[in-house]
Chains A and B, each alone.
Chain A
Amino acid sequence: MNFDFSDDQKFLKREARKFLEAACPIATTRSVLDSRDKPFDEPLWRKVVEMGWTGTVIPEKWGGSGLGHTDLCAIAEELGRVIAPIPFASTVYVFAEAILAFGEDRQCERLLPAIAAGEAIGCLAVGEGRGRLACDAMTTRVEDERLHGAKIPVTDGDIATHAIVAARDDAGLGLFVVDLATAEGVRREPIESLDPTRSAARIVFEGAECERLGAAGEGKAQLDTVMNRAAVLFAFEQLGGADRCLETAREYALERYAFGRVIASYQAIKHKLADIYVKNELARSHAYYGAWALGAGESNLPLAAAAARVAGIQSYDFAAKENLQTHGGIGFTWEVDCHLHLRRSRQLALALGGISNWREQLVQELEARNQH
Chain B
Amino acid sequence: MDFNDSPEEAEFRARARAWLAANAPEVNWAQLDQSDEPAMKAAGQAWQARKADAGFACISWPREWGGGGESPVMQAIFDEEEGAYGIAFRFFGIGLGMCLPTLMAVGDAQTCKRFVGPALRGDEIWCQLFSEPGAGSDVAASRTRAVRANDGSGDWIVNGQKVWTSGAHYSDYGLLLARTDPDVPKHKGLTMFWLDMRSPGIEVRPIHQASGDSEFNEVFFADVRIRDCQRLGEIGEGWKVALITLMNERLAVGMGSGPGWRELLALARELPGADGRPAVEDQALREKLADWYVGAEGIRLTRLRVMTALSRGQAPGPEASIGKIVSARQMQDVATEALDRLDQFGIVAGEAGGADIAAFDYNFFFGGALRIAGGSDEILKNIIAERVLGLPADIRVDRDVAFKDIPRGR
* Chain A positions near chain B (C-beta within 8 angstroms): 1-6, 70, 246, 250, 253-254, 261-262, 264-265, 267, 269-271, 273-275, 277-278, 281-286, 288-289, 291-292, 295-296, 306-307, 310-311, 314, 356, 358-360, 362-363, 366-367, 370, 372
Q: Is the CB of B5 within 8 A of A1?
A: yes
Q: Is the CB of A4 within 8 A of B297?
A: no
A-B residue pairs in contact (CB < 8 Å), sample of 12: A2-B3, A2-B4, A2-B308, A261-B395, A265-B392, A271-B378, A273-B385, A274-B384, A281-B298, A281-B302, A286-B301, A306-B290
Q: Is the CB of A359 within 8 A of B287?
A: yes
Q: Is the CB of B290 within 8 A of A289?
A: no
Smallest CB separation, A256 vs chain B (Å):
12
Smallest CB separation, B141 vs chain A (Å):
18
Per CB-CB distance, the 6 closest pairs between chain A and chain B, nearest first, are A270-B385, A282-B298, A359-B290, A285-B301, A274-B381, A274-B384
Choose the segment among B84-92, B154-162, B318-326, B339-347 that binds chain A (4+ C-beta atoms closer than 8 Å): B318-326
Q: Is the CB of B266 within 8 A of A275?
A: no
Q: Is the CB of B295 within 8 A of A282?
A: yes
Q: Is the CB of A370 within 8 A of B265?
A: yes
Q: Is the CB of B294 within 8 A of A307?
A: yes
B109 CB–A CB distance under 8 Å: no
Q: Which residues of B contact A283 (CB under 8 A)?
A: 298
Q: Which residues of A contact B290 (CB under 8 A)?
A: 306, 310, 358-360, 362-363
Chain B: interface residue count, which band? 35 or more
Please give me the residue from chain A that is nearest to B76 by CB atom: A1
Q: Which residues of B contact A271 (CB under 8 A)?
A: 378, 381-382, 385
Smallest CB separation, B1 vs chain A (Å):
4
* Chain B positions near chain A (C-beta within 8 angstroms): 1-5, 9, 73, 261-262, 265-266, 280, 283, 286-287, 289-291, 293-295, 297-299, 301-302, 304-305, 307-309, 311-312, 319, 322, 325-326, 378, 380-382, 384-386, 388-395
Q: A2-B1, A310-B291, A356-B287 are in contact. Are A278 and B394 (CB under 8 A)?
A: no
Smallest CB separation, A214 vs chain B (Å):
28
The complex places the Cα of A2 from the Cα of B73 at a distance, in Å, of 12
Please give me the residue from chain B that is nearest to A285 by CB atom: B301
Residue in A2, A5, A264, A362 whose beta carbon sits within 8 Å of that of B293 in the complex: A362
The complex places the Cα of A274 from the Cα of B395 at a distance, in Å, of 18
Residue in B261, B286, B388, B391 whose beta carbon sits within 8 Å of that of A253 in the complex: B391
The complex places the Cα of A281 from the Cα of B325 at a distance, in Å, of 12
Q: Is the CB of B302 within 8 A of A264?
A: no
Q: Is the CB of B1 within 8 A of A291?
A: yes
Q: Is the CB of A270 within 8 A of B382?
A: yes
Q: Is the CB of B1 within 8 A of A282?
A: no
Q: Is the CB of A264 within 8 A of B301?
A: no
Q: Is the CB of A2 within 8 A of B319?
A: no
The complex places the Cα of A358 from the Cα of B290 at a distance, in Å, of 9
Q: Is the CB of A372 within 8 A of B266?
A: yes
Q: Is the CB of B4 within 8 A of A1?
A: yes
Known: A3-B308, A261-B395. 19 other contacts (CB 8 A): A1-B304, A4-B1, A254-B392, A270-B386, A278-B325, A278-B326, A281-B319, A282-B294, A282-B295, A285-B301, A285-B304, A288-B1, A292-B1, A310-B291, A310-B294, A356-B283, A363-B265, A363-B290, A370-B262
The complex places the Cα of A84 from the Cα of B154 at a distance, in Å, of 69
The complex places the Cα of A278 from the Cα of B3 at a distance, in Å, of 23
Q: Which residues of A contact B386 (CB under 8 A)?
A: 270
The complex places the Cα of A149 from the Cα of B325 at a distance, in Å, of 50
Q: A270-B386, A282-B326, A310-B294 are in contact. Are A70 and B395 (CB under 8 A)?
A: no
Q: A1-B4, A362-B290 are in contact. Are A274 and B301 (CB under 8 A)?
A: no
Please give me the residue from chain A that is nearest to B391 by CB atom: A264
Smallest CB separation, A135 vs chain B (Å):
19
Please give me the residue from chain A that is nearest to B393 by CB atom: A265
The complex places the Cα of A310 from the Cα of B288 at a distance, in Å, of 12
Q: Is the CB of B388 within 8 A of A289?
A: no
Q: Which residues of A contact B385 (CB under 8 A)?
A: 270-271, 273-274
Q: Which residues of A contact B382 (CB under 8 A)?
A: 267, 270-271, 274
Residue in A262, A267, A277, A285 whose beta carbon sits within 8 Å of that of B389 in the complex: A277
Q: A1-B73, A292-B1 are in contact. Are A277 and B384 (CB under 8 A)?
A: yes
Please give me the residue from chain B that is nearest to A275 by CB atom: B381
User: Which of B283, B322, B326, B380 has the most chain A CB within a 10 Å cutoff?
Assistant: B322
Q: Which residues of B contact A264 (CB under 8 A)?
A: 391-392
Q: Is the CB of B265 within 8 A of A1?
A: no
Please give me the residue from chain B that is nearest to A369 by CB atom: B262
The complex places the Cα of A3 from the Cα of B295 at a distance, in Å, of 18
Residue in A3, A262, A275 whose beta carbon sits within 8 Å of that of B305 in the complex: A3
Q: Is the CB of B389 within 8 A of A363?
A: no
The complex places the Cα of A362 from the Cα of B288 at a distance, in Å, of 11
Q: Is the CB of B2 within 8 A of A281?
A: no
Q: Is the CB of A285 within 8 A of B392?
A: no
Please give me the residue from chain A that is nearest to B286 by CB atom: A363
